[in-house]
A and B are shown apart, each in its own frame.
Chain A
Amino acid sequence: MHPILFSSGLRTAPNVRHKTLLLVKGVLFSLLFALFTGLMSKARFFLPFTPVPVTGQVFAVLLGGLLLGRVFGPLSQAFYVGLGLLGFEWFSLFPLVPTGGYLLGFIAAPYAVSLIMERKTATTGFLHTMTALSAGVFVIYLFGFAFFTAATHTGPIVSFRLTVLPFIPFDLAKAVCAALIICPLKKKYGPKTLI
């Protein structure tokens, strides 16, 4: 990551109020993160026993929560879902199939991640980041599981086996990846987000 990205100060536009730049920068970065999520969703594979694919989206969602904060993290995922509806062919999970709950979870998860990340009282460093990311993954599961159960009328135990259990190791691996990327950056530049 480039150090300039973490600087909240202005380089070329010293006369601009911080709030205006914050808004514009936030929107543009959210769009980029939506694009990033879309590209990550192309890296996916299906496990033979469940209709839910393993995708790289979760990684992008978690990273979005860590880097964009609690307003623009969810916004970036809302852009992702919205662009998917507008005809971008990147959604492996369409909101209407029973796996659509995950998409709602993607919007909510960055909020949960950044909410915990912004807590000053919690332990700092890798453990703290992992706690935040686990909360994000939990939120994604919660939405995915609830939506799947409601849409397919399967029992909660079967649904849990299909929508949550097989993905825990994969998502933990993604969370560790995200934490390994973010922790050195946070150590170097402080607890700032990109915006």
Chain B
Amino acid sequence: MTARSEFEFSVKLSIGQFVPGSSLLHMLDPRVKIVVCVMLIVSAVLVGRIFAVTLLFVLVVSVLVGTGVGAGLAFRALRPVAPFLAVLAVIQMFAIPQLRENAVIVWEWRFLHMTDRSIVSGVLLIGRFAVIVMALHLFSVTTSTNQLIHGVEQLVRPLEKIGVPAHELAMVVHISLRFLPILLFETEKLMMAQASRGADFGKGRGVRRLRRLFPLFVPMFLISLRHAEAIAESMESRCYTGGRGRTSRLRPRLKRADYLAIGAFIAADGAILAANYLFSEAVWGSRALCIL
């Protein structure tokens, strides 16, 4: 099993699986969930204080628990990336030069320095990552592919006037979601077939590694070309003529619950962002407070 694992891509997709259910989140309009998810990711990138990231994390977890999705499902997404994340955080702490004048060196050994700022940035990295993964998870667990595609199309449709192709964008999302597992599976199959005939993908670096990959990708391109022709033909034989004039059987309307949900979320997220900027060094003057 361990020998095979280097070829297995599809098992690595830990999040992004829709779990059917009847929680409040499942019932919400997909547009609301897309907006909430994007806002969560943007605010996770924007906040620069540990307490604010913690609050965002608490917000996501409480949404997941409060709406009956369950936190266990959410934490499952974090588990496979945790070791990788820890390594990244350590790199962040030591390798990024925190050349700020007011950083205090906490620990020092030969050429390694750890400043209070670098500890904060390491912790922030983990926090932001956790919030982003949970936000994506919150979205993907409760939204089916169909809902996602309708949501994207409806959300982008107002932008059609300035030339953004809403329907094509939704179609891109649809095709990629549908065919990613298939392409991964085909790649695995091809790699295993080549490995059984003596190909070695594991070792080597740089150019040598690159040259080993080319025999893999040429047949992959041919396979996907064949897929593409089959999909295009089957789409056309079902009267697909592009986005112009196309109507949809499902027309999700925003309900009162949707407005309430998005209102409550914007209030909570705004409060966290405002707190993040208010607790600055300039306002409070206290160093410990501003670092946290």
Interface residues of A, Cβ cutoff 8 Å to B: 1-2, 4-5, 10-13, 15-17, 19-21, 23-25, 27-32, 35-36, 39-40, 42-43, 45, 50-51, 56, 59, 75, 79, 83, 85-89, 94-98, 152-155, 158, 162, 177, 194
Contact = CB atoms under 8 A, between A and B. Distances in A.
A134 B13 CA distance: 34
16 contacts: A2-B222, A5-B222, A13-B230, A13-B232, A20-B240, A25-B232, A27-B171, A28-B227, A32-B183, A35-B9, A43-B210, A51-B95, A87-B80, A97-B92, A177-B207, A194-B221
A85 B132 contact: yes
A45 B205 contact: yes
A159 to B, nearest CB: 9
Contacts of A23: 168, 171-172, 175, 232
Given A51-B96, A86-B13, A11 B80 contact: no
A10 B231 CA distance: 13
Interface in B109-164: 125, 128-129, 132-133, 136, 140
Nearest to B41: A85
Interface string B94-111: 011111100000000000
A87 B81 contact: yes
B96 A56 contact: no
B81 A152 contact: no
Contact of B179 (A11, A27, A154, A158): A27
Interface in B158-199: 168, 171-172, 175-176, 179-180, 183-184, 187
A59 B210 contact: yes
Q: Which of B140, B228, B233 has the most CB of A within 10 A?
A: B228
A1 B84 CA distance: 36
B16 A87 contact: yes
B84 to A, nearest CB: 6
B225 interface: yes
B210 A153 contact: no
Contacts of A162: 97
B35 interface: no
A51 B289 CA distance: 29
Contacts of A15: 233, 236
Interface residues on B, range: 35 or more
Contacts of B226: 12
Contacts of B227: 28
A16 B231 CA distance: 10
A147 to B, nearest CB: 11
Given A27-B175, A89-B84, A155 B99 contact: yes
B99 A158 contact: yes
A17 B244 CA distance: 15
Contacts of A21: 228-229, 232
A24 B231 contact: yes
B235 A24 contact: yes
A178 B24 CA distance: 51
A133 to B, nearest CB: 16
A106 B14 CA distance: 24
Given A15-B233, A23-B171, 8 more contacts: A10-B229, A86-B15, A87-B16, A88-B12, A89-B12, A94-B88, A96-B132, A153-B98
Nearest to B118: A152
A30 B183 CA distance: 11
A1 B96 contact: no
Nearest to B228: A25
A69 to B, nearest CB: 14
Contacts of B241: 17
A46 to B, nearest CB: 8
A15 B237 CA distance: 9
Contact of A51 (B91, B136, B172, B209): B91
B233 A13 contact: yes
Q: Which of B207, B217, B226, B231 has the most CB of A within 10 A?
A: B231
